[in-house]
Amino acid sequence: MKAWIKAFKKQKDTMLFRMNFWFILILLVTVLFIGVSALAVVSYQLYQGTRQDVSYVEHQLIATARQKNPDWNEAVGDALYAQHPDFYVHIQTPDGKTIYSKGSEGIAGSNQYLVKLSLITSFFINNRLIPIYHQTVSYGGYTFDIYVRMLSIRHFIKTMVKVLIFCTALGILFGSLAIYQISRKLSRPLTDVTLFINRLTRTKDLEQRVPLPAHPREVRDLAVSFNHLMAQLERQIEREKRFVSDASHELRTPLAAIRGHVELIQRHGTDHPEVIRQSIHFVDHESKRMQRLIDQLLMIARLDRKAKALFPVDLSIIAGNVIADYASEVEQTLTADIADNVCAPANEDYVHQIIVSLLGNARKYTPAGGWIKIIVNSDRNYSYIRVQNSGSRIPDEEKEKIFNRFYRLDKSRSSEQGGTGLGLAIVRQLVEIENGRIWVQDMNLPGSEFVVRFGKWPDGGAGEEKRSLRSGP
């Protein structure tokens, strides 16, 4: 018994159980509504027919009462026995006598009035559950109580109830079987998808994909969405694995070099003091590079977790501040073409970091005699920050890859330029957090142009946010 109860509780929340339950409930309500409506309509029609017959008998009795010496036995027999066998009459004469039609003496003896239709009409059910119509008529000192046993209505109600019970039972039996099969057919794709997902969860094989059922469309859309989610998860895990591998590679090289110089000091430091100075200088350089790398890794981790709120900021002022701060450190010729009041929904610190990183990248890959140019402008829909340089052009097949973590155009991953391979990856992540887009393109002159595009602030002004920025030079 407990096992059956447990199985029932498990099944009652399934779509199959719920569809059968609601089908049976709707069927019962529908059959009940149709049955009650049919009973009401037909019963009303039969009631109206009974009223017409009562009116006919009433006219005959009144016509007899108009006679001087009425023969009530003959009149009642002519009015009731032949044409209306279910009619009964009690006649109260002016002299106090009561005349009963055949079999009518006890018709009202144990009746309970259920409905009072009017002052002279009522409706009740006798002890044999037969509905009886009763009407009282007075004329010329006579009082006529007319009773009608409505056997036709009783017969119809009994027949209708039997038909309803039979049809309901038959409908529930065959309907439940039909809806069960249909429910199984409709829920099978969803069940198959669920079983496959559970199996995939157990095996942890992210390369598998849920088979796409032909129908129903909702289950197919669910399978497509799940496969899309799995593909994203697989790419994310692959990126994390590659990130860990690349980070390990980047950290292993300076650590091995530092360890080698420490061993060199231990072996030759006493006899050769110049070795100590050279090794300490190298260790200091490599440790600073490791610190920059770790700081950038921490920044990427923070960017992965949450984004700062975006506010309207003036890109023109931020670009002017960056140029004022870093112009003295740039060996190349640095120029700027900055339009006024170029505003965008962004984060001030992020925009500052983006311009600094792009300027630093341009410095590293532009020859000493070359030039760098920063352009800030906008069109009807977007605001732009462009950083151009006269360095070598980037091959088309590399233009998207350079924004990946630890990717360098130099396949040997040398750190001769002093970078960590994370600068452009951080820039792209900052831009995407601010709902922007970044890409690199060739110029007519030799060199490359990095383009950052943000949405344009609707009112064209940054309001109170400008107060936190310094004005340009």
pLDDT band, residue 470 (cuts 50/70/90): very low
Q: Both 80 and 58 in a single domain?
A: yes
pLDDT score, position 462: 43
pLDDT band, residue 195 (cuts 50/70/90): confident
pLDDT score, position 374: 92
Q: Both 11 and 110 in a single domain?
A: yes
Last residue within a domain, chosen from 285, 303, 321: 303
To the question of pTM greater than 0.85 for the whole model, the response is: no
Q: Both 137 and 114 in a single domain?
A: yes
Least confident of 102-111, 213-222, 421-430, 452-461: 102-111
pLDDT band, residue 206 (cuts 50/70/90): low
Last residue within a domain, chosen from 156, 176, 193: 156
Q: What mean pLDDT comes out for the span 338-354?
A: 86
Helix axes 217-268, 273-305, angle to 10 degrees: 170
Residue 170 in any domain: the answer is no
449 near 443, Cβ under 8 Å? yes
pLDDT score, position 464: 39
Distance between CA atoms of residues 39 and 36, nearest Å: 5
Parent domain of 83: 2-156
Distance between CA atoms of residues 30 and 114, nearest Å: 28
Q: Both 316 and 358 in a single domain?
A: yes
pLDDT > 50? residue 444: yes
Do strands 371-378 and 333-338 pair parallel, antiparallel, or not at all (unpaired)?
A: parallel
Q: Both 95 and 237 in a single domain?
A: no
pLDDT > 90? residue 239: no
What CATH number did the domain enclosing 322 receive?
3.30.565.10
What CATH number did the domain enclosing 51 receive?
3.30.450
pLDDT tens string 264-300: 788 776 777 777 877 787 777 777 767 766 776 676 6
Across the chain, mean pLDDT equals 75
CB neighbour list of residue 404: distance below 8 Å, 6 or more residues apart: 425
Last residue within a domain, chosen from 262, 283, 303: 303
Q: Both 257 and 271 in a single domain?
A: yes
pLDDT score, position 385: 93
What CATH number did the domain enclosing 291 receive?
1.10.287.130
Q: Both 75 and 144 in a single domain?
A: yes
Q: Both 29 and 85 in a single domain?
A: yes
Domain count, the chain: 3
Q: Both 400 and 436 in a single domain?
A: yes
Least confident of 144-158, 161-175, 184-198, 389-403: 184-198
pLDDT > 80? residue 37: yes
Q: Closest Cα to residue 197, out of 186, 208, 184?
A: 208
Q: Both 229 and 294 in a single domain?
A: yes
Residue 272 in any domain: the answer is yes
How does 357-367 read in b/e, with b if 16+ C-beta sit within 10 Å? bbbebbbebbe
312 near 461, Cβ under 8 Å? yes
Token pair listed for 233: 């998860």
Q: Both 36 and 148 in a single domain?
A: yes
Q: What mean pLDDT comes out for the span 1-21?
A: 63
pLDDT score, position 93: 84
